[in-house]
Chain A
Amino acid sequence: MQAGDQCVAQASQHGQSAPPAGAAAPASTSDTSTAPLMHASDTPAAPSTPSGTVVCVVSVNDVGTTVEQHRVLDVTRWLGSHPGSFIMASGKDCGPTFTPNLPTTTNVPTTTASAADVTISAPVTTADTTTASVPGPLTASEAAAPAFAAAPVVVAGVTVASAPVEVAGVTRAAAPVEVAGVAVAGVVLGEQLVLASPAQCAQASDSLEAMTIEAGTMGACGAFGAAELDLAGAFQYPSIPPDAGDGTTADEIVP
C-alpha cells in the first residue's frame, strides 16, 4: 500500500465523519470534504499556487493518530470544527503522518512503537495482534512466564529426583551417609558384590585397583573378596597362592 493511498483513505474517513461547517459555502474549494488532498510534496507540482492556508489535520482513531496537510480558506472556522488540528508552521511540515497508539497497559519501549510503525496500514485487529506480539514488557512477561516458572520446577525436580540415583550409579560413592533408603543400600550392596568378584580379582588387575580404591593396590583383592564373600561358609581347598604384597619394597621389578 502506498503512502498516498493511505492518506486518501484517511482523508475520506475524516471528511465523512466530520463534515466541515463550511459545507454550505458556495465555493467548492471551501468544502474541505471535497478539497484535493495536498501533501507538501504535491505543492510544487501544482500548476498554480493554491489559495488558502495549509493546516495539519489531526485525526485519532483506534490505530493511532494521523496527521495530514489540508489547505483551507477559513482557517479560524475550520480549526474550530477540527479540535487538535493546527496550522502548519511556515517552512515546515506537519511531522509524522501517522503515530500508532501505544499500549495503555504496558511500557512499550520506543523501539516497539517504531516496529509497530511498519504495520500502520493494517486493520485494527491486525494492529492489535501486532501490538500483542511486540516484545513489550507485559506481553513478553506473559509469554515467558510459563517457561520461567516451569524451569525452576523442572530443574528442582530433576535435581531432587535424579541426583541420588546418578551419584550412586556413576561415582560409586553411593553416599551411604546421607541416604538410609533401600535404593542406596541396594546400590552399595551391588557395588560390593560386583567389585569383590574373585574372577575380577584373579583376571583383571584394573578391577583389583577399582576394588580397593582406598587401599590403592590390588593386594587387598583376595582378602577383600575372600573374607567377606564366603559368608555362606562353603569350604574350599586352596590351590592358588595368595597375593600378599604390592611390590612397593620389591628388590626387583620386572615388566
Chain B
Amino acid sequence: MARPRMKSFRSLASGLLGAAAILTALPSPTHGESLTLEFPTLGVEAQTEAIDVQDGQLGVPVDPDRLGVYQVDGNMLIVGHVDWAGQRRVLADVRSFQLGEPIWLSDGRMYHVAWSKTLRVDADQNEWSAAFAPADDVLTLVTCSGPFSLSRHEYLERTVIRAARDD
C-alpha cells in the first residue's frame, strides 16, 4: 500500500540534506539491501525493506506486503504484517508454522524453524529483549496475533518464530 507521506518526506529529506547525506545516514547494506524471503510450505515469498527502532520499538515495513528487516548481531529480525486495510498480509499464515519448516533467502541462505512462541505485547520486556538479542546466524520472525484491542488499536499478542541456519 502506498503511503504518500513517506514519499514526500523522502523527497523533502533529499532536498534538505542532499543525496550524499542520505546515503551516509541510511542503514548499512547488511540489512538495507533488499532480499527475498520464501516460505515454500506456505507458497509465500516477499521482498524485504529496512526497518528501524524508535525508543526501543521495532518498526514495521512501510509496504505491508513486504517484510521489514532489522539486523542485530547475528539475529536478523524480520517483521511482517498479519493484516492491513482489510487484507491478510504476508505473514498472516506464518503463525501456523511448524518446527522444521524451511525459510529461504534469495542470497542462498536457508533456515528452518527452530521454535515459535506467543508473547503478549505487554509481556515482560526481558522476554522481548531476549527474542531480539544477538545470536548466531538466526532469523527471528515477528508478527501480530491474538485478539485485537479496539481501545489500544493493536493486537495484544505477537508470534515469535526463531529459525536457525541450515548447515
Contact = CB atoms under 8 A, between A and B. Distances in A.
A and B pair up: yes
Interface of A: 176, 185, 188-189, 192, 195-196, 198-199, 201-202, 205, 208, 211-220, 222-233, 236-255
- Could you say which of B3, B15, B52, B91 has the most chain A C-beta atoms within 10 Å of its C-beta? B52
Contacts, number: 214
Interface of B: 1-6, 8-10, 12-13, 15-17, 22, 24-27, 49-62, 64, 68, 70, 72, 77, 79-89, 91-92, 119, 121, 125, 128-129, 132-133, 142-144, 146-156, 158
Nearest to A251: B147
Contacts of A233: 24-27
B77 A189 contact: no
B149 A223 contact: no
A7 B136 CA distance: 121
Contacts of B86: 248-249
A220 B155 CA distance: 14
12 contacts: A176-B8, A188-B12, A189-B16, A192-B9, A198-B57, A212-B3, A214-B5, A222-B54, A238-B58, A238-B128, A243-B155, A249-B83
A242 B79 contact: yes
A29 to B, nearest CB: 104
A239 to B, nearest CB: 5
Nearest to A241: B158
Given A228-B13, A250-B155, A245 B82 contact: yes
A244 B55 contact: no
A202 B88 CA distance: 24
Given A227-B62, A240-B55, A245-B143, 20 more contacts: A192-B8, A192-B12, A198-B55, A201-B54, A217-B153, A219-B64, A220-B62, A226-B60, A230-B52, A231-B17, A233-B24, A238-B77, A239-B128, A240-B58, A241-B57, A242-B142, A245-B148, A247-B154, A249-B86, A250-B148
Nearest to B155: A245
A30 B38 CA distance: 133
Nearest to A189: B12
Nearest to B120: A241
Contacts of B88: 249
Given A215-B1, A244-B144, A255-B150, A224 B12 contact: no
B57 A242 contact: yes
A245 B153 CA distance: 9
A196 to B, nearest CB: 8
Interface hub of A188, A208, A220 (most chain B Cβ within 10 A): A220
A201 B26 CA distance: 22
A211 B17 CA distance: 22
Given A201-B54, A228-B6, A237-B72, A245 B13 contact: no
Nearest to B149: A254
Contacts of B50: 227
B9 to A, nearest CB: 5
Given A214-B3, A227-B62, A244 B85 contact: no
B4 to A, nearest CB: 5
Contacts of B85: 215-217, 246, 248
Contacts of B154: 218, 243, 245, 247
Contact of A253 (B26, B68, B148): B148
